[in-house]
Amino acid sequence: MSEQLSTQEFRQTSVKKIAVASVASLGIAILVFVGAVLPAEYGVDPLGTGDALGLLALSQVAAISAEASEYKRDFSELKLRPSEWAEYTYRLEEGATMLYSWTASGVVAYNFHSAPDGAPPGYAESFDAQESDSAHGSYSAPFTGVHGWYWENLGQEEVTISLSTTGFYRDAHEARDRVDGYHSLMDIHGKSLQDGSK
């Protein structure tokens, strides 16, 4: 069997050589781990090699991403009669983030979707489509365009949706059966901004 062949070459190798090679490989492994892997992967740098070689930078995660555009807040209440729908969207640049929370007085069908700038009319990418009476989370725009919710009242009663968002968006835009227009936003102090009406 060729498995016998496998180590035939080393049959004559001295015990000392094998032992030295094994111990040395363990020693070098520990050195590489402490000197390179620890600083690069875990940000721990006991030997100072991570600092000297610039490996520490690899372990630093960008926890903060600064935004250049203005911080906005928006609260909106939408009333939907049975089988009525509404769409509420924001303009976000690529990478801009938004925190959101909405609750409804009854279960509604919703769809969070985004349409990139320049996309053909009616084109949108859907990120979350369900039936629920609330949703909360954060959103980071994968592309520049309009991003927001479509809600539809599936029940027999009027439903009120309370939406609250903060983030780095520009306009808020509401569209529904009858109403179609821009909403004014608030700045960090809660003062109304007219920035949205363009």
Partner 1 sequence: MTAVAASVTLAAHPMDTQNAAFVQGVSGPAPAPFMYLGAKHMVTGYDHLLFLVGVIFFLYRLRDVLLYVSLFTLGHSATLLLGVLGGIEVNAFLIDAIIGLSVCYKAFENMAGFERIFGRRPNTKGAVFVFGLFHGMGLATKLQEFTVTENGLVANIVSFNVGVEMGQILALTAVLIVVTYWRTWPSFLRHSFLANAVLMGGGFILTVQQVFGYVFYS
Closest by CA to 153, choosing from 84, 63, 71, is: 84
Using alpha carbons only, what angle is made at residue 132 by residues 120 and 159, rounded to the nearest 5 degrees? 90
User: In which residue are the tokens 């700045």 written?
Assistant: 187
Stretch of 19-27, 153-161, 170-178, 181-189 contacting partner 1, by CB under 8 A: 19-27
- From candidates 35, 50, 145, 167, binder to partner 1 by CB under 8 A: 50
Region label for 89, one of left (φ > 0), alpha (ψ between -120 and 50) or beta (otherwise): beta
The smaller minimum CB distance to partner 1, of residues 42 and 75, is found at 42
CB 95 within 8 A of CB 62: no
- State the minimum distance, in angstroms, from the CB of residue 18 to partner 1: 5
Residue 51 engages partner 1 in binding (rule: CB under 8 A): yes
CB 171 within 8 A of CB 91: yes
Give a three-class secondary structure readout of 144-194.
CEEEEEEEEECCCCCEEEEEEEEECEEEEEEEECCCEEEECEECCCCCEEC
Residue 5 engages partner 1 in binding (rule: CB under 8 A): yes
Residue 41 engages partner 1 in binding (rule: CB under 8 A): yes
- State the minimum distance, in angstroms, from the CB of residue 39 to partner 1: 8
Residue 55 engages partner 1 in binding (rule: CB under 8 A): no
Residue 101 engages partner 1 in binding (rule: CB under 8 A): no
Residue 130 engages partner 1 in binding (rule: CB under 8 A): no
Stretch of 15-23, 76-84, 89-97, 147-155 contacting partner 1, by CB under 8 A: 15-23
Supply the DSSP symbol for 17: H
Residue 26 engages partner 1 in binding (rule: CB under 8 A): yes
Task: Assign 58 to helix, strand or coil.
Answer: helix
Site residues for partner 1 per CB under 8 A: 1-3, 5-7, 9-11, 13-15, 17-19, 21-22, 24-26, 28-30, 32-33, 37-38, 41-46, 48, 50-51, 56, 59-61, 63
